[in-house]
Amino acid sequence: MRICRFDHDRIGVVKGDVVHDVSGVLAELDSVRWPLPAGDLFVGALDRLRPTIKAEIGRGPQLPLSELQLLSPVANPTKIIAAPLNYPLHVLEAADSAINHGVHYGTHDGFETPIDKFGLFLKSPTGLIGCGEEIVLPFPDRRNDHEVELAVIIGRKCRHVSRQDALTRVAGYAIGLDMTIRGPEDRSYRKSPDSFSVLGPWLVTADEIPEPDALEFSIRVDGELRQHSNTARLIVDVRDLIVRASALYTLYPGDIILTGTPEGVGEVHSGSLLEASIERIGDMQVRVA
Ligand code: MN
């Protein structure tokens, strides 16, 4: 099932060019009091809500997808976890000082993988937008890059997850853009401005993607193909990323893991149109303001 959040926090099921408004399902969410429970209420309840969502299809309005504003399919992640240097050819290109700025080296001598050396990093969840919103560059005179990545959306609270159980903790998948200012500052600073994490166009439930490590994906900027790879080339694969992240952090429903970007990162500018696509998920277009 392809589940989107659109316009003023409505929930839809996408079928082709049509969105079935199933927002009636939101009446079944728990009412909450302070302190709010950690994690995204809707994503955390998704399994329980599925029969109602299916029943709502066809009952509410059917809307043309092209006329809706798509928001991030996750409204309230507690964190966005991201993998640096997780495709071999991106590790090589990151040796370019215009990318690493003498700080974020691609070398990982003595370690089996770059992630063994550098670990994972966090992006601020307040930087999250959907593809119906615009990327805003706070420093338009600096180098601002696109990074297209498979995004994993966690469905259940979990900690110390085994490799064997890892995919059972996943609610679904989406396209992620890990927008990045190049420079010497910490990753959490350069990758966390408002609008620098794009998630969309919708959440595809995990049952539709039994093998996340075999998905073709790409991004075009103003029509030019910039990145094209397959998640089969991930150095640390999706299961292992969940193992590593949950070894460190409690994962909550709606938490997002950006799995890393392949070679071909490059600049975007004011007015750029980004068109990203991942097999079995779909296509999305997002504009730089
Ligand atoms: Mn990235």
Angstrom distance (rounded) from CA 228 to CA 216 = 8
Ligand 1 centre to CA of 110 (Å) is 23
β-pairing, 80-82 with 121-123? antiparallel
- Predicted confidence band at 96 (pLDDT cuts at 50, 70, 90)? confident
Ligand 1 centre to CA of 260 (Å) is 5
For the segment 176-220, what is each residue's pLDDT rounded down to a tens digit? 999 999 999 999 999 999 999 999 999 999 999 999 999 999 999
Ligand 1 centre to CA of 258 (Å) is 7
Ligand 1 centre to CA of 194 (Å) is 16
- Average pLDDT over the chain reads 96
Omega before residue 201 within 30° of 0, cis: yes
For the segment 22-64, what is each residue's pLDDT rounded down to a tens digit? 999 999 998 999 999 999 999 999 999 999 999 999 898 999 9
Ligand 1 centre to CA of 166 (Å) is 21
How far lies 103's CA from each of 10, 89, 99, 106, 118, in Å?
Answer: 43, 19, 9, 9, 12
Ligand 1 centre to CA of 149 (Å) is 7
Ligand 1 centre to CA of 82 (Å) is 6
Ligand 1 centre to CA of 286 (Å) is 17
Ligand 1 centre to CA of 177 (Å) is 8
Ligand 1 centre to CA of 23 (Å) is 32
Ligand 1 centre to CA of 262 (Å) is 9
- The reported pLDDT for the residue numbered 255 is 98
Ligand 1 centre to CA of 234 (Å) is 12
Ligand 1 centre to CA of 19 (Å) is 30
Ligand 1 centre to CA of 30 (Å) is 34
Ligand 1 centre to CA of 116 (Å) is 16
How far lies 116's CA from each of 83, 108, 231, 250, 270, in Å?
Answer: 11, 8, 19, 20, 36
Which residues, listed in sequence order, are joined to residue 43 by a DSSP beta bridge? none
Ligand 1 centre to CA of 53 (Å) is 33
Q: Give the Cβ contact number of residue 133 at 10 Å.
A: 19
Ligand 1 centre to CA of 118 (Å) is 13
Angstrom distance (rounded) from CA 255 to CA 14 = 22
Ligand 1 centre to CA of 259 (Å) is 7
Share of the chain above pLDDT 90, in %: 90
Ligand 1 centre to CA of 50 (Å) is 32
Ligand 1 centre to CA of 256 (Å) is 13
- Predicted confidence band at 97 (pLDDT cuts at 50, 70, 90)? confident
pTM of the complete model: 0.97
Contact assessment for residue 182 and residue 97, using Cβ atoms and an 8 Å cutoff: no
